[in-house]
Chain A
Amino acid sequence: MEVSTRAARTLESRDNIPDLAFSPIDHIVFYLRAQNAALFVTRKADDILFEAFELLPPNSRVMSCRGSLLREFPECAALVKLHVVSSEAFLSVFIEVMTKLELDIAPNVQPKAKKAGVEHAEERDTMSPFLVTGMVMDVLAGLGCCVQPSRYIKRSREQVDCSNTRLPFHRSPVWLLLRVSLRLALEHGQILSNEWSSQGLYKALLAFHHCRLLQDATRRGFGSEVLYCMGAKVARRVLKLDPPC
């Protein structure tokens, strides 16, 4: 796949970058590009919580749906003891699996199209996240235990456009990953003042980001029709804020 070779190339070109000190953080999110999935990791006292979710929905779901898709995040979760995760036996295998999953496409999860009675890899469709949400999560659940994640429902507007091209347009998986992981991080944290609920803070942050992009676009002299659409969407976001401005 093209993305994976590109990815490999950037990996090589990173050897001469200056070093940076490392500080501990609360949450980690891994983007497993080739599996169309993300893994969100949180430490809770003596346990490590792994949550996995799919990024792009299958094309058929998007195209058969009017309006926005209702999706639940995260899909599954597993809790593993900290001493298991930090043991060398676990870490070395986990790291190997993750680096492999990030870039390698497995034939089993590639959607197939049947043409002239023969099955071909359908590279226009999105990958099944099965190796992450199924295999990795089940193995983690086997090492620890399987838990019911506190899911939240997200309305997501997806789009697949394809005209006269090889690979279709999909909404960016990175953008979905950023939104979902921000929301999960806010929900897990829950140190909120009286002013902000986690959902309220999330909505305010997104509205703010939309406004900043609109500001940038105005500065860069984008076309008035694009600016108008952006303004309309910002207005909708601001209206939905809680607490209202």
Chain B
Amino acid sequence: MFSNKWKHLTPTFPHTLFTFSIWHNLAPRPPPSPPLQISLELYRPLNEMRFKTSDESPSGLKYAINHVFLPPRLSQADDASLENELFLAKSFYESLLGFRQLEPASSEALNPALDMVERFSEAEHITPLIIRAMICGLNNGGKHPSRTHPGVPGQHT
């Protein structure tokens, strides 16, 4: 008999997630989909529609300053909103761009990070299509194999 104390650990929520580990090989396979084309026009950026510059969005700038600098006398309530978070990500992206222009020597090291932040600030929500496109379109990042993680297969950390 299981004791009642482990009751809270029994997975009630993600039933579907178990297909992930145990049955994903046994489940009937869907017919193979055609190879992923890079005609991923369906990938939709948000920025043209929702991003505002600091002139148009004083609340976004206020939010960025509060959360980046943590000045005294902060707001006492939750002030998160999608628009503010988008402004934060976008302004960070613009800073990285500005830095690369002023310091071209850093551009090789900075480019992968810049692409990542750009993609993140464009699509704040992950949709199935974006995930698929991004995973299938991964470049070989982490150029130096010496820096790969020296893990022992099968050994849990």
Chain A interface (Cβ within 8 Å of chain B)? 3, 6-7, 10-11, 14, 17-31, 41-45, 48-49, 76-77, 79, 85-86, 88-100, 102, 104, 106-108, 131, 135, 139, 141-143, 145-150, 157, 159, 161-172, 174-175, 178, 181-182, 185-193, 195-196, 198, 201, 204-205, 208-210, 212-213, 216-217, 219-220, 222, 226, 229-230, 233
| A196, B153: Cα distance in complex, Å | 33
Chain B interface (Cβ within 8 Å of chain A)? 8-9, 11-14, 16-17, 19-21, 24-25, 27, 29-30, 32-33, 38, 40-46, 48-49, 54-55, 58, 61, 63-65, 67-72, 74-82, 85, 88-89, 91-92, 94-96, 98-99, 103, 105-106, 108-110, 112-113, 115-117, 119-120, 124-128, 131-145, 147-157
Contact of B68 with A210 in the complex, beta carbons under 8 Å: yes
Contact of A226 with B65 in the complex, beta carbons under 8 Å: yes
Known: A146-B154, A181-B116. A229 touches B46 (CB 8 A): no
| A135, B58: Cα distance in complex, Å | 40
| A95, B30: Cα distance in complex, Å | 15
| A164, B103: Cα distance in complex, Å | 47
| A47, B86: Cα distance in complex, Å | 31
Q: List 17 A-B contacts (CB under 8 A).
A: A22-B43, A26-B140, A28-B135, A44-B141, A86-B136, A96-B16, A100-B16, A145-B154, A145-B155, A147-B149, A159-B70, A165-B76, A178-B120, A181-B113, A187-B147, A188-B142, A212-B95
Chain A residue at smallest Cβ distance from B147: A190
Smallest CB–CB gap between A46 and chain B, Å? 9
Contacts of B11 in A (CB 8 A): 108
Contacts of B112 in A (CB 8 A): 25-27, 185, 188-189
Chain B residue at smallest Cβ distance from A177: B120
Known: A24-B137, A175-B68, A178-B117. A201 touches B151 (CB 8 A): no
Q: How many A-B residue pairs have CB under 8 A?
A: 329
- From the candidates A10, A25, A148, A216, name the one contacting B138 in the complex (CB within 8 A): A25
| A163, B75: Cα distance in complex, Å | 9
- From the candidates A14, A30, A141, name the one contacting B126 in the complex (CB within 8 A): A30
